[in-house]
């Protein structure tokens, strides 16, 4: 579970070591919006020809954060279109 401040945004990226095995960590949802509150869902897919074992604690992705110069006017949790506020499950 993560609670993003209103002045911080994030981006999820797969690690190259796992990508070279054919594993995609996210298909479309790489951005973590200011004000997001909930669980980050990984959209894992094996695009390779061989099975890949993933283990608890294995480093498969990273998140980079960027601070805005001012808080978002409408953070994610205040958007009427926000579908995933406080999500606990995928």
Quote the tokens at residue 42.
Answer: 């990984």
Quote the tokens at residue 15.
Answer: 């690690």
DSSP conformation class of 49: S
Q: Let me know: does 28 contact 57? Beta carbons within 8 Å.
A: no
**Whether residue 43 lies in the annotated active site:** yes
Q: Could you say which of 3, 13, 33, 43 is catalytic? A: 43
Catalytic residue positions, numbered? 43
């Amino acid at each position: 579970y993560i609670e993003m401040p209103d002045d911080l945004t994030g981006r999820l990226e797969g690690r190259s070591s796992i990508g070279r095995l054919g594993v995609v960590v996210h298909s479309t949802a790489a951005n973590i919006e200011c004000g997001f509150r909930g669980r980050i869902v990984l959209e894992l897919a094996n695009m390779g020809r061989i099975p890949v074992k993933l283990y608890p604690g294995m480093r498969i992705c990273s998140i980079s954060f960027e601070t805005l110069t001012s808080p978002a006017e409408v953070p994610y949790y205040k958007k009427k279109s926000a579908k995933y506020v406080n999500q606990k499950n995928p």
